[in-house]
Amino acid sequence: MTGRFVRIAALVALIALGSAAFAQAIDPLPFRDHAEELRFQHLTSQLRCLVCQDEDLADSNADFARDIRHKVFELMQQGKSDAQIKQYLVDRYSDFVLYDPPVNGRTWLLWFGPLLILIAGGVVVVNTIRKRGRAGTPTAPTDNGDDW
């Protein structure tokens, strides 16, 4: 029983070690401190890898994503702000690199469409309730089967 436990524990430790080593090996960059590394991770997780479009830059193994990560790192070393780095990439790859689409003329429907639908639904509900209120009893026998 203990032998089995030891084996399982060893396996778990091995997997944990392996994935930690992998996380390091994907892209070892010479960060000055942990805060800079966190900022880098945060920034690259908001950016899309254009080759593998359902992955963010932070997690992607694609060669292209590595190049862009290095570029982001380089711009960080130059003292650029997060906004400046994002703008640098947007200038070259359009808003598509951002996972969070900016509010502008082309995206207003995306941002406010759900609100419009909610309002439209609210209007329908209010109207229906008012109509039923005026009709008196809600389950009026005058209902001709039109109770969808």
**Binding-site ranges for other proteins (CB under 8 A):** 50-51, 53, 63-64, 67-68, 71, 90-94, 96, 146, 148
Q: Give the nearest distance from C-beta 137 to other proteins in angstroms.
A: 19
Pick the closer one to other proteins by CB: 18 or 121.
Answer: 121
Q: Give the nearest distance from C-beta 136 to other proteins in angstroms.
A: 18
Pick the closer one to other proteins by CB: 26 or 98.
Answer: 98
What 3-state class would DSSP assign to 67? helix
Q: Give the nearest distance from C-beta 102 to other proteins in angstroms.
A: 13
Pick the closer one to other proteins by CB: 6 or 51.
Answer: 51
What six digits make up the tokens of 36?
């800079």
C-alpha distance from residue 100 to each of 28, 48, 53, 107, 115 (Å): 27, 10, 14, 11, 18
Contact 56, 48 (CB under 8 A): yes
Pick the closer one to other proteins by CB: 38 or 123.
Answer: 123
Distance between CA atoms of residues 33 and 91, nearest Å: 29
> What are the φ/ψ torsions at residue 136 (nearest 5 degrees)?
95, -120
Q: Give the nearest distance from C-beta 105 to other proteins in angstroms.
A: 15
Pick the closer one to other proteins by CB: 33 or 147.
Answer: 147
What six digits make up the tokens of 68?
């862009």
Contact 23, 65 (CB under 8 A): no
Residue 51 makes CB contacts below 8 A (sequence gap 6+) with: 60, 62, 64, 65
Q: Give the nearest distance from C-beta 11 to other proteins in angstroms.
A: 37
